[in-house]
Amino acid sequence: MSLLVLPGPVRRAHDAVRHKAALQLRDRVAGTEATRRADSIWGKTGERWFGPDDPIWRVHLDASMFVAGIRALMLQSLHPLAMAGVDQHSNYRQDPWGRLQLTSNFISTTTFGTIPDAQRLLARVRGIHRRVHGDYEGVPYRADDPHLLAWVHAAEADSFLTCFREFGGGHLTAAEADEYVAQIGFVSGQLGFEDVPTSVAQLQETLEAFRPELRGTPQARSAAHFIAWQPPLSLAARPAYLSLVAGAVGTLPPYARQMLGFRTPPGAAPVLRVFGSAGAAGVRWMLSDPRIQADRRVNQAAEAVDHPRQ
């Protein structure tokens, strides 16, 4: 039944429920300064690396990113040294929303923000990476190690693209998917690694090349358990969140599910993806709230878009 024919009181009740849910979601993802952040990203004029017609805008604006972020964290954790850096230098258990907000701000600023703002943020992240180092089982690691950066990027790019194709509200052609891989690689490559994949085929080759290094360490399994079963959410919000987790697990490669200890019976992955589709649809409904749409001033930002990368 179309919302356009709902009786007035029902429609108003629907809009009120959606508005409340949308603001709660926005505050979780963008923080209490969501409006200020939106102003700094969408409200500024100036050249941008990407525009509304670029695949990276379409993917990163989509509700499927809420599934993709969970999937990316799980997949990234399978590299023991990358996971050690997070486990030893991050407070993700004490402040998971703070970590999410930092990640959200990075993706939003480098995708939709002006070039000077994106460059400043990238420089800040490079500085943080230089200070993160340690060892795991006697093997030293550095967060600015080009090899580890390549893994983190590949897992992230694959997750974002996979979940958009599975749960997204749009479609990418094969050429657009390649362009997306090149665009997200343009950003991540500025963090300090070379041979960035520029096509889906190259991305898959990169992921496959890392397979011998991946393990389901106790730290990785603990992180996956925390993400899946211990989110700092009310009991009322957990079913919706679990649908996103189901979508993330259902799109992981079988080897990743096994390494992380998800005992899914044969044929379970398609069922999990159905739940993921429902979860993404719920987020898409929340993102359609006028307040959220007002924050995402796509048309205003689009007026100042150029493509200096080319």
- The per-residue pLDDT for range 94-112, each reduced to its tens digit, is 778 778 888 999 999 999 9
pLDDT of residue 287: 83
Q: Give the list of residues 6+ apart from residue 122 with CB closer than 8 angstroms, or none.
A: 110, 187, 190, 191
Lowest mean pLDDT among 7-11, 164-168, 178-182, 211-215: 7-11
Residue scoring higher pLDDT (247 or 19): 247
Residue range 233-251: mean pLDDT, rounded: 91
Rounded (5°) CA angle 24-30-33: 95
CA dihedral sign of residues 275, 280, 286, 288: negative
What is this structure's pTM?
Answer: 0.90
- The per-residue pLDDT for range 225-238, each reduced to its tens digit, is 999 998 888 887 88
Q: Which of 188, 34, 42 is nearest to 112 (CA)?
A: 42
Lowest mean pLDDT among 5-9, 88-92, 128-132, 285-289: 5-9
pLDDT of residue 297: 63
Question: pLDDT class for 303, splitting at 50, 70, 90?
Answer: low
pLDDT of residue 12: 77
pLDDT of residue 6: 65
Residue range 165-180: mean pLDDT, rounded: 97
Q: Which two tokens stand for residue 18?
A: 């959606």
